[in-house]
Structure 1
């Protein structure tokens, strides 16, 4: 009997939770990089329309990989949307960029897809992000793989890059997290 209960908790319940639609949705508020940040130039990216859809081109200024580049992310929240962000107890510690992408790339894979809304291909076996100019077209935030519970309001992800142990730049992505308007009968 105990084996059956453990089976239900480990197999059935998590699978059922993944089938429940998220109770929230997210939209871009802003995307910015610190001046002269490496390894990206994101000055040609824009948020378009009320839906705040991400469009434009970005440059990878030099090839980067796990050997030389490390990446860390701090996450801040601002429920009142008054600019007073508080550091959340969630963070991604400094790791190689490829290691980070392999571990946490699922948060982006549903939003940014090679051949659909970007021409950047990331080879996950011989991971190198190649130097070049790439496009993003009609990118929206898909929260399918995000945590089931997120605080409402503004959420800011601050990504910091380090090259050979030296800080070289940071990038901020701020999103707005709202309750999803329920749809009934597929409408």
Structure 2
């Protein structure tokens, strides 16, 4: 009897549940066809999936764009540089044509003096006649070697004879004495012949340079070994001598460079 009561109760509960929550009715064939049409009418949207390959392609495209921009800028910069180089070349050519004239030219001595006391004594040097021939004596008061002595030189130009000199880029850096004389005295070897008008060893100076008094006789400047291009006007060369880093005298020579007749 208990089992019968339990069965009736379960049946009643199931019936009440179905009444409260009825199952959907099975769609008819027409309803199924209409549902299929509705689904097919929905547009298909493809959702892009960003992959590493796509990122690499984008990076390559960006790099290619940067390369093209860099190439463009380099081309533009190159054109600007060429224009500036041409302008600079024209300016230099103008300067050379205005101030620097190729040979022939000649130089005459104007003065040879000492600006301060030191190892050289040039007080007895004289420039004689219209040609300004150098005569007299020059004294070196001490043996001059490379260990203690050095010198450097600067050049100046006065193109008009006004007495106002401008510094030239022709300079000699600080150099040991013997080395400096061996480098620069050959420029004057044709001006002063050893045993003829000088007894100072200009053609092959030894080291150390021996102290002593040397004679000068009718020395004229010979420019055959000078630079082929030289500014016209009054040129001044100033040499600063040092012994163990301290001043050992200053010599100044002035020449007048003119066109050769």
Structure with the bigger RCO (C-alpha within 8 Å, sep 6+) is 1
Partner of 2:234: 154
Q: Within 5 A, what are the aligned runs for 1:66-85?
A: 66-85=146-165
Q: How many residues align structurally?
A: 160
Tell me how far 1:67 sits from its aligned partner: 1.2
The counterpart of 2:174, out of the listed 94, 116, 129, is: 94
In the TM superposition, structure 1's runs of 4+ consecutive aligned residues that sit over 3 Å from their partners are 122-126
* Residues in 1 aligned to 2:104 and 2:201: alpha-carbon distance in whole angstroms: 31
Tell me how far 1:70 sits from its aligned partner: 0.3
* Residues in 1 aligned to 2:134 and 2:244: alpha-carbon distance in whole angstroms: 31
* Residues in 2 aligned to 1:123 and 1:153: alpha-carbon distance in whole angstroms: 28
Tell me how far 1:141 sits from its aligned partner: 0.7
Structure 1 residue runs of 5 or longer lacking an equivalent are 1-20, 182-187
Tell me how far 1:40 sits from its aligned partner: 0.8
Tell me how far 1:133 sits from its aligned partner: 1.1
Partner of 2:108: 27
Tell me how far 1:105 sits from its aligned partner: 2.1
Q: Which has the higher strand share?
A: 1
Q: Within 5 A, what are the aligned runs for 1:85-124?
A: 85-121=165-201, 124=204
* Residues in 2 aligned to 1:172 and 1:162: alpha-carbon distance in whole angstroms: 15
Tell me how far 1:66 sits from its aligned partner: 1.1
Matched, 1:59 2:139: yes
- Given that 1:161 and 1:168 are in contact with CA atoms closer than 8 Å, whether structure 2 keeps it comes out as yes
Q: Could you tell me the TM-score, scaled by structure 2's length?
A: 0.59
Deviation readout 1:46-100 (Å, 9 max, x if unpaired):
0000000000011111111111110111000000111100000110111011111
Q: Could you tell me the TM-score, scaled by structure 1's length?
A: 0.81
1:118 is paired with a residue whose SS is: coil
The counterpart of 1:136, out of the listed 212, 216, 222, is: 216
* Residues in 1 aligned to 2:200 and 2:119: alpha-carbon distance in whole angstroms: 15
